[in-house]
Amino acid sequence: MQEADLLLNYSVYLVIGLGGALGAITRYVLSTWIYQKYFYTFPWGTFVVNMLGCFVLGIVYVLGVENLVTSPNTRLFISVGFLGAFTTFSTLSLETLNLIKSGEIIVAVLNGLGSMIVGLIAVWLGMSLTQLLLK
C-alpha cells in the first residue's frame, strides 16, 4: 500500500483509536488498583503496567511481525493502540522527576534505570517465550 493510501485508510485510525481508548482505561484501572493495594514511595502502578506492556509487546511482535500470525489491523490495535496507551513513558518521567524533587534520589534512580533495564528484559522474555512456544 502506498503511503498516501495508508494515510487515507481511516479504518487504521479507528483501530488504533479504539485500542488506545481501551489501553488507557485499562492502565488507569490497573495502576490505581495496584496503588490501593500496595502504596509505597516507589510508583509500582506505573512500573507494573510498563513492564507488563513490554512483555506483551514482545509476544505481539513475534506473533505479528516475525511470524505473521496476526493480521495488520490486530497488530495495530494491540501494539500501537492498546499498548501505546497502556504503557507510559511520560508518566514514568514525571514520577521520576517528582522523586528527585522530593530528595528520594535512590528511589528515582531505581525507577528510571529499573524501568529501562527490566523493560528490556520483559520484552526479551515475551519474545523468547513466544518463539519457544511456536517451535
Partner 1 sequence: MVKISGQARRIRIYIGEASKYKGVSLYHTIVLKAKELGLAGATVFRGIEGFGANTRIKTSRILDLSNDLPIVIEVIDSAEYLQDFLLFLDEVVNEGLITIEDLEVMKYSPKK
Distance (Å, rounded) from C-alpha 135 to C-alpha 111?
A: 35
Q: Do 119 and 50 form a contact (C-beta atoms < 8 A)?
A: yes
x/- map, 67-96, partner 1, by CB under 8 A: ------------------------x--xx-
Stretch (H or E) spanning 95? helix 89-101
For partner 1, the closer of residues 43 and 84 by Cβ is 43
Rounded to a whole number of angstroms, the minimum distance from the CB of residue 46 to partner 1 is 7
Rounded to a whole number of angstroms, the minimum distance from the CB of residue 128 to partner 1 is 30
Q: Examine residue 45 and tell whether it contacts partner 1 (CB under 8 A).
A: yes
**Amino acid identity at 135:** K
Distance (Å, rounded) from C-alpha 43 to C-alpha 38?
A: 10
Residues that bind partner 1 (CB under 8 A): 27-28, 31-32, 35-36, 39, 43, 45-46, 91, 94-95, 98-99, 102
